[in-house]
Structure 1
Amino acid sequence: MELFTKLFGGLLVLVYHCFDRIVIHGYLSGLSRPEQVVYFFRQVVGKAVVDKELLRQRTNDYQSWVEAFARNHHTPIEWAEKGVRKEDYVLRWLRAMERTQNFGVYFILRSMEQGPTFRCTVPKYPTKDPNHRILAPNRSRFTHYYFYIRDERLGPIVMRVASFFPFQSTYYLNGHSFIEQELNRSGIGFRKHDNAFLAVDDPDALQAAADRLSHVLIRERLDYWTLLLGPKFSAKERKQINLRRFYAISQIEYCRNFIFKRHFPIHKIFERSCELGLWHLSVDKISEIFGLRITKMLKGKLHATLEKLDHGHHILRAYCKHAFIKQYEKFSLFLRNEICSNNLADFGLKKGLEHLAEVRERFLGITERFAGFQARCLNAHVDFPLLQRLALPINVGSAKYPGIKIHDTRMIRLMQVLLHAGTTAAGWRAQQLHDAVVASFGLSTKRYGLAQLRYDLRKMRGHGLLERDGTRYAYRLTDKGVKVALLFVLFHQRLYGPLANSLFHHRPNPEFQPDSRLEAALHKADTSIRNVIQLLEAA
């Protein structure tokens, strides 16, 4: 992270990190298992038979209460339309509540979704207890209620409540909404666009507000809204059984945002980060960023990819188990590194809400290592004296190794394959490397044999660009080798190739030039490019 700030500090206005999207499940611990449900209805409620009608009565009571709540508070309640994003549909009601500076429920949506419940059946054979019923966990499709809330501390949140027993609830929060409320309470000016802060009067106050989001505050607000909008239990029932909800983190995102002074460098930095990341984000680098060891027991994904969503934004992702870290630019306004986890057990963390501080500390380190990795890739500037030294033969002990020329096609091909180390966590063996080079470039074994490959590997190892994996005859690039390989490959792809193409490409005949200012400008540009090529040839 220090290297990233050192490289681009003059272009940055603001850097801050915070939680982004948080999805929390709320479970009724005292009613999550069938035996607990039977105890609740028989011993607490006083019902001898726990059957479908009894469970249906609880569902009907809650659904009637929701309808009455919406009617009494003049809150719109509708069925969610298929194919329509819920947050976009209710946005105008949120804007109206923000203009009036009110807090509370501003919309309720009904939705038919899958959820956990219980199935009650009569035993196939008679039992000693005539009231005995078989109660088993089950997933079925039933009505869920989405309560859209504007909270005075957390900002806009969404609470989804299942209408079937045991009434599991899900909460959707956003760390940026909490920061916005904190800055408004402190009277600090800021400019926020979409889901990022682009300017703020006091950057330290912004980061301090982000750090104040704690599990204690979240639990307090979730308990309040669950008591107000959740299923109703009497004081007697609450006294005799534990009806306090256990909050577990289902999905969580932590982001580091880079706000630049101008729009131009954002796209350039992101473009080069994607290009170099796809070359160099191998499995060993990904595991180093996530702080995990690669073993044979590792399950899930472990690779990097470049994705393009429907709205046209490219996203660089690096997957590790059930988590991923991504980088993207948005509206040419900011650059964001964001880690998302769907299973905190991948990091050895517990999913209880009380462990939120440990999640922040772990994810903060991951985003720092990812930013540091990108800074090292973007800082791959190699001075020309190094190229001159590489071109000269060197002596290592009694062995003499020839130089490496930047125009050596064999070395370019070998470096290009070595940079794609995503499928070889333990390094490349000579035979594997030879097969990859031959298959990638369509060569024959006579044109590029295994002995020639070993000769090239010795040259690279002699110049310190390659190292062995312990005592095994498997090879991987060193840090110096990665920088040199990137320079060689990108030089041929971005400079040498286009220049060579310009030498042999068809040039327009100036004798048939139309009498127009645009055509004159194009011929002038072509002449300038030709002069640059001639100067490079002379040099």
Structure 2
Amino acid sequence: MNTPDDFSQYHAELLDGIYDCVDRIVLNAFFPLGQTGGGMRSWWRSLHGDDSQLDDKHLREMAGTFSRRLHAFCAKQGIPIVEAQSGERKHELAEPHVPKDPTFRGLFLVITGNAPAPIWEVERNAAGQITEIRHRKNWPFVKHYYFHIMDREWGHVTIRMCGYPPFGAQLILNGHEWVEREARRKCLTAVKDGNCFVEGSDFDAVNRLAAKLQRPETIGRLRELCERWIYSTCLCFALVHEEQKRSAFAYQYSVFQLELSRNLLFLRGTTMNEVYQKLIDRTRAPLDLKQVKTIFGFSHRPHKSAKRGREAVQVVKAVEAHSYDLTVFKVKWGNLTLKIYDKGGRVLRVEVVAHNVKDLRAGKVLDKLSELLKRMREMLVRFLGTVQAAHVAFLDGGAFERWSKPTQRGTRRLAGIDLNKARNRHVVDAVVALSTRPGGFTLAQLAEAVQQRAGRSAKAYSSRNAAYDLAKLKGKKLVHRVKGSRRYKADPSGVRAMCAYLILRDKVIKPLLAGVVRPFGRAPKNQSPVDQHYVRLREELNRTFETIGLAAA
């Protein structure tokens, strides 16, 4: 069951379906003994009997053996090896080689490329005794191997492995591939465009399948996937099975990157485009969304869903990606990114990306996957709530009057929020901009945001000033402190009210008064609907001023 969010509920009548799915998953595979110098020495003794040959030369020879064995195997089996150049995207190089046979299982491509890696170096004294085993200070660029594998459950899986001991690896996969295969196995209708299910799919069935990926059982499935391929298809070129067994070489797994998306299928593509463009226009300024990118394509989206009587949809199929205008806006906070963009003709995707899951503060080992996804789901729902609050903002009749009145917190009397003062306006603006921050914001971050807006130095507006201003907002229940931390979050109702004020001031009062004080000349031929409203409002406002005898200075 999806956690409901304000944005989806508000547009429920316009939606044909909704599903949540785990997208990209990147796991780190590491050999625990190989993470310390002492551990490496102990493992080498288990492998060779002693450490007399543990030196830089023999470590390089192991990397060379890896390469020679792999090239010989691929030449014998007819598996292509592609050398990737700097800047080339590995998944694009792999696309022409993906097997067309749906029953194919196993390795179908190897891509090689240079990348930085932690390489051990061994120091010995004049007597030949080891004095230190340490990582090189600057990670050198060494050969990495990208094994592209077709798995029966997870589809296209990539294992990236370093050729040097302790052969660190990453497993890269996509949750949509697993859902697609489950749908095919259960004969469910699912139409896939890239890594997204689009119109023609049974979204309720897809959502039920995708929900399984967020359950604890997924941890076992991922571990089985790793064990199925990493030893027999990748590590075997560095250490044969007998060497793996003799040296007790065994990987452990942790989560490195995760993506979780909520996909909204609209009834009409034109409706989706209208909702999305209005959302961008209304939230970009209040939420300080600086990263808005549009990739242009076809201008017309499908107006309606497929008619009855047309060709039936296959159980599972991939459709060609249509090059509609693609607009992406995103909010990036450290290693966490929140973004919204359109997929295909009628799907709007909201996505949370953890570029490094350490920023989720829930652990990194594979057993923590469910908790990590739970935190990402909470971030996604909160982000949509904040966007919706900024998108559809409103003020009740007495909001400004209540804000301006003082409040009492315990024995402390706090001044009201006078929005006629520039400092208070900057604080409100900064709080709204920081409201999308997944973990909340600190006083230092608020102070920095206010300094940027007011053009003040850190000395003129410090964290102490921010604490005082934030206390006034807390008194009005516009923000609250995150329990057990020194961070603060803006309530959705508070964001809605503060955005309403910003919109009222910047989009209504200022443009109207500017037009009254400095009347425009001849109007341009092509005016947007908003500009047409402004013109009519200014004309009526001028007549009102004449009636009441008020002259614009």
Common topology (TM > 0.5):
yes
CA distance change for structure 1 residues 191 and 67 in 2, over 3 Å: closer, same or farther? same
Output the CA distance in 2 between the equivalents of 1:325 and 1:315.
9
Structure 2 SS opposite 1:253: strand
Larger radius of gyration: 1
1:221 aligns with 2:235: no
Once the two structures are aligned, what percentage of the paired residues are identical?
20
CA distance change for structure 1 residues 310 and 23 in 2, over 3 Å: closer, same or farther? farther
Match of 1:174 in 2: 174
Match of 1:292 in 2: none
Match of 2:549 in 1: none
Output the CA distance in 2 between the equivalents of 1:224 and 1:22.
17
1:55 aligns with 2:59: yes
1:329 aligns with 2:331: no
Match of 2:266 in 1: 260
Match of 2:149 in 1: 149
Match of 2:235 in 1: 231
Output the CA distance in 1 between the equivalents of 2:454 and 2:45.
74
Q: Deviations over 1:93-119 (max 9, x none)?
A: 22xx13554232222111111112221
1:119-198 to 2 correspondences below 5 Å: 119-121=121-123, 123-126=124-127, 132=130, 134-138=132-136, 139-198=139-198
Q: Which residue identity lines up with residue 505 of structure 1 in the other structure?
A: F
Output the CA distance in 2 between the equivalents of 1:526 and 1:344.
45
Maintained 8 Å contact 1:413/1:437: no
How many Å apart are 1:8 and its aligned residue? 0.5
Output the CA distance in 1 between the equivalents of 2:280 and 2:262.
17
Output the CA distance in 1 between the equivalents of 2:490 and 2:46.
69
Match of 1:251 in 2: 257
Output the CA distance in 2 between the equivalents of 1:394 and 1:188.
59
Counterpart selection for 1:316 from 330, 333, 344 = 330
Q: Deviations over 1:137-156 (max 9, x none)?
A: 33322111111222221111
Output the CA distance in 1 between the equivalents of 2:211 and 2:445.
44
Output the CA distance in 1 between the equivalents of 2:335 and 2:523.
55
Output the CA distance in 1 between the equivalents of 2:183 and 2:258.
23
Q: Which residue identity lines up with residue 158 of structure 1 in the other structure?
A: T
Structure 1 SS opposite 2:100: helix
Match of 1:452 in 2: none
Structure 1 SS opposite 2:147: strand
Maintained 8 Å contact 2:46/2:246: no
Maintained 8 Å contact 1:51/1:133: no
Maintained 8 Å contact 2:30/2:251: yes
Maintained 8 Å contact 2:329/2:340: yes
Structure 1 unaligned segments of length 5 or more: list them: 282-303, 397-403, 441-456, 470-475, 510-518
1:11 aligns with 2:14: yes
Maintained 8 Å contact 1:274/1:306: no
1:96-107 to 2 correspondences below 5 Å: 97-98=99-100, 101-107=103-109
- Taking only aligned residues, the RMSD between alpha carbons, in angstroms, comes to 4.5
Maintained 8 Å contact 1:30/1:242: no
Match of 1:444 in 2: none
Q: Which residue identity lines up with residue 258 of structure 1 in the other structure?
A: L
Match of 1:298 in 2: none
How many Å apart are 1:344 and its aligned residue? 3.4
Structure 2 SS opposite 1:50: coil
Q: Which residue identity lines up with residue 135 of structure 1 in the other structure?
A: I
1:359 aligns with 2:368: no
Structure 2 SS opposite 1:16: strand
Q: Which residue identity lines up with residue 20 of structure 2 in the other structure?
A: H
CA distance change for structure 1 residues 492 and 412 in 2, over 3 Å: closer, same or farther? farther
Q: Which residue identity lines up with residue 134 of structure 2 in the other structure?
A: A
Match of 2:322 in 1: none
Match of 1:34 in 2: 37
Counterpart selection for 2:521 from 476, 496, 506 = 506
1:284-299 to 2 correspondences below 5 Å: none
Q: Deviations over 1:436-486 (max 9, x none)?
A: 99869xxxxxxxxxxxxxxxx9xx99x9698999xxxxxx99877754543
Q: Which residue identity lines up with residue 245 of structure 1 in the other structure?
A: Y
1:490 aligns with 2:503: yes
Q: Deviations over 1:63-114 (max 9, x none)?
A: 12211221122121121122322212221222xx135542322221111111
Maintained 8 Å contact 1:13/1:259: yes
CA distance change for structure 1 residues 10 and 466 in 2, over 3 Å: closer, same or farther? closer
Output the CA distance in 2 between the equivalents of 1:325 and 1:477.
17
Output the CA distance in 2 between the equivalents of 1:467 and 1:363.
22
Match of 1:418 in 2: 428
CA distance change for structure 1 residues 414 and 267 in 2, over 3 Å: closer, same or farther? farther
Counterpart selection for 2:23 from 17, 20, 28 = 20
Match of 2:319 in 1: none
Maintained 8 Å contact 1:80/1:110: yes
1:307 aligns with 2:291: yes
The answer to which of 209-218 and 257-266 deviates more is 257-266
Q: How many pairs align?
A: 463
Maintained 8 Å contact 2:32/2:252: yes
TM-score (norm 1): 0.71
Q: Deviations over 1:387-410 (max 9, x none)?
A: 9x969x9999xxxxxxx9xxx994
Match of 2:302 in 1: none
Maintained 8 Å contact 2:360/2:372: no
How many Å apart are 1:358 and its aligned residue? 1.7
Output the CA distance in 2 between the equivalents of 1:436 and 1:35.
50
Maintained 8 Å contact 1:21/1:172: yes
Output the CA distance in 1 between the equivalents of 2:372 and 2:286.
27
CA distance change for structure 1 residues 412 and 466 in 2, over 3 Å: closer, same or farther? farther
Output the CA distance in 1 between the equivalents of 2:366 and 2:444.
40
Output the CA distance in 2 between the equivalents of 1:43 and 1:394.
75
1:73 aligns with 2:73: no
Counterpart selection for 1:368 from 381, 391, 397 = 381
TM-score (norm 2): 0.69
Match of 2:114 in 1: 112
Output the CA distance in 2 between the equivalents of 1:224 and 1:480.
50
Output the CA distance in 1 between the equivalents of 2:143 and 2:186.
40
Output the CA distance in 2 between the equivalents of 1:527 and 1:420.
31
Structure 2 SS opposite 1:90: helix
Q: Deviations over 1:156-189 (max 9, x none)?
A: 1211111111111111111122212221222212
Output the CA distance in 2 between the equivalents of 1:188 and 1:378.
36
